[in-house]
C-alpha cells in the first residue's frame, strides 16, 4: 500500500482510506473483521463523521478496536462535524461538543484529524479558530481540514486559524471529474469549461493540501456505481481491457485512475465488502500510462478539444 503525507502534517497515511459511513450496518464482530482486513492490506486510515448512522458508525468502530485489541498507534482516525439535522453549524460550541461526542463513541483520547463537513454559510471564522486552538492545545485533535470547500472558503478559515488546513474532501472519480475538467477546457465556450469549484485542484497543489476523494465509484448524486453498469458501455469496456492488461479489476483500474494524478489524492472507499477492499487495495500497484489516463477520461464521456 502506498503511503502519502497528509498535507504538510508529516503524518503518513495510506493512499486508500476506508470511509466508515456504512459501518453502522455491521455487527461489532463484522466490523472487527473489516478493520483487521484493512490493516492487513495496509489501509491504516479510517474516515468517520458524527452523522454517520447518527453516531452508530463511530461507536461500532470503537468497539471493534477494543474487542480486537488493536493498538491506537496502528490506526489513523479522522472524523467530521458541522452537519446537523436541517442546518449546518460551525459554531465553537458545536465543534467542541461534536468532538467530545466522537471521542466518547470511538473510545479514544484523541483524533488524528478533524474535518468541517460542509460549508456553513453563517460561519464565524474566529469561532472556528478558537475551537481548533482549544482542541489542539488539549491534545484532542492533532490535524484539521475541511470537506467540500472552495479556495476562498478555505482562505477565510486560514486567515484566523493558527492550525494548518491539511486536507479537503471532495467528490472525485471518473464520473465526477469536474476538478480536472474545467482546467482542461480553459478559454473554451463550452459547459465543461465552467469552473464550479474555484480551481480547487490547482489551489490544493499550490498549498500542498491533500484532496480526499469521496464516493469515487458513484455517478450522479448517489445514483449508483458505474462499474459493470450497462449505462456506461464504453467506459466499462476500457476498464475491463485495462484490468486484463494489469491483472486487476475494473474497480481497481477506476481507483488507479485517481492514483495517477500527481497531486497524491487519497481515495476513500466506502465498501464494507471484504473482496472489494482487497480489490481497491491492490489498485495502488497499478501505474497507468498518461495515454491510458486520458483514454479513461474520454471513455467516461469527457471531450478533449
Q: How far is CA 77 from CA 88, 112, 179, in A?
A: 23, 5, 26
| 266 within some domain | no
Q: How far is CA 52 from CA 20, 45, 61, 191, 286, in A?
A: 8, 17, 11, 34, 31
Measure the CA–CA gap between 77 and 116, rounded to whole angstroms. 15
Asked if the structure places residue 237 within a domain, the reply is no
pLDDT recorded at residue 70:
85
pLDDT value of residue 220: 86
What is the value of pTM for the model shown? 0.95
Range of the domain at 89: 3-226
Which of the residues in the chain have pLDDT under 70? none
Answer yes or no: is 166 within a domain.
Answer: yes
In a domain, 59, yes or no: yes
Asked if residue 40 is part of any domain, the answer here is: yes
In sequence order, which ranges of the chain are alpha helices (DSSP H)? Answer: 28-40, 56-67, 92-106, 125-137, 151-160, 178-184, 200-206, 233-245, 250-259, 274-282, 290-299
pLDDT tens by residue, 95-120 = 999 999 999 999 999 999 999 999 99
Q: Does 277 reside within a domain?
A: no
* Domain CATH number, residue 72: 3.20.20.100
What pLDDT is recorded for position 124? 98
Does 60 reside within a domain?
Answer: yes
* Total domains in the fold of the chain: 1
Question: Tens of pLDDT along 211-228?
Answer: 999 999 999 887 899 999
Q: What is the pLDDT of residue 68?
A: 81
- Whether residue 93 is contained in a domain is answered as yes
> Can you tell me whether residue 166 is helix, strand or coil?
strand
How does DSSP assign 180-222, residue by residue? HHHHHTTT--SGGG--SSSSHHHHHHHTTPEEEEESTTEETTT
Residue with cell 486559524: 161
Amino acid at each position: 500500500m502506498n503511503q502519502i503525507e497528509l498535507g504538510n502534517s508529516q503524518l503518513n497515511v495510506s493512499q486508500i482510506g476506508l470511509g466508515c459511513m456504512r459501518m453502522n450496518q455491521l455487527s461489532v464482530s463484522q466490523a472487527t473483521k473489516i478493520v483487521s482486513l484493512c490493516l492487513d492490506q495496509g489501509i491504516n486510515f479510517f474516515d468517520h463523521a458524527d452523522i454517520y448512522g447518527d453516531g452508530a458508525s463511530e461507536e461500532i468502530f470503537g468497539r471493534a478496536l477494543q474487542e480486537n485489541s488493536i493498538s491506537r498507534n496502528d490506526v489513523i482516525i479522522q472524523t467530521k462535524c458541522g452537519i446537523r439535522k436541517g442546518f449546518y453549524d460551525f459554531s465553537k460550541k458545536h465543534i467542541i461538543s461534536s468532538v467530545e461526542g466522537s471521542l466518547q463513541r470511538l473510545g479514544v483520547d484523541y483524533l488524528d484529524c478533524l474535518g468541517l463537513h460542509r460549508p456553513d454559510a453563517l460561519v464565524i471564522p474566529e469561532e472556528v479558530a478558537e475551537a481548533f486552538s482549544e482542541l489542539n492545545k488539549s491534545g484532542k485533535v492533532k490535524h484539521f481540514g475541511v470537506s467540500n470547500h472552495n479556495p476562498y472558503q478555505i482562505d477565510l478559515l486560514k486567515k484566523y486559524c493558527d492550525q494548518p488546513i491539511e486536507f479537503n474532501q471532495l467528490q472525485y472519480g471518473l464520473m465526477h471529474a469536474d476538478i480536472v475538467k474545467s482546467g482542461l477546457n480553459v478559454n473554451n465556450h463550452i459547459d465543461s469549461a465552467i469552473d464550479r469549484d474555484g480551481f480547487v485542484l490547482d489551489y490544493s497543489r499550490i498549498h500542498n493540501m491533500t484532496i480526499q476523494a469521496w464516493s469515487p465509484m458513484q455517478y450522479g448524486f448517489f445514483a449508483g456505481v458505474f462499474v459493470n453498469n450497462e449505462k456506461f458501455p464504453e467506459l466499462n469496456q476500457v476498464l475491463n481491457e485495462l484490468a486484463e492488461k494489469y491483472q486487476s479489476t475494473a474497480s481497481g483500474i477506476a481507483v488507479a485512475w485517481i492514483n495517477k494524478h500527481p497531486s497524491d489524492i487519497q481515495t476513500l472507499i466506502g465498501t464494507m465488502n471484504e473482496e472489494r477492499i482487497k480489490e481497491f487495495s491492490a489498485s495502488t500497484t497499478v501505474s497507468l500510462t498518461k495515454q491510458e489516463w486520458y483514454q479513461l477520461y474520454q471513455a467516461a464521456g469527457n471531450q478533449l478539444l
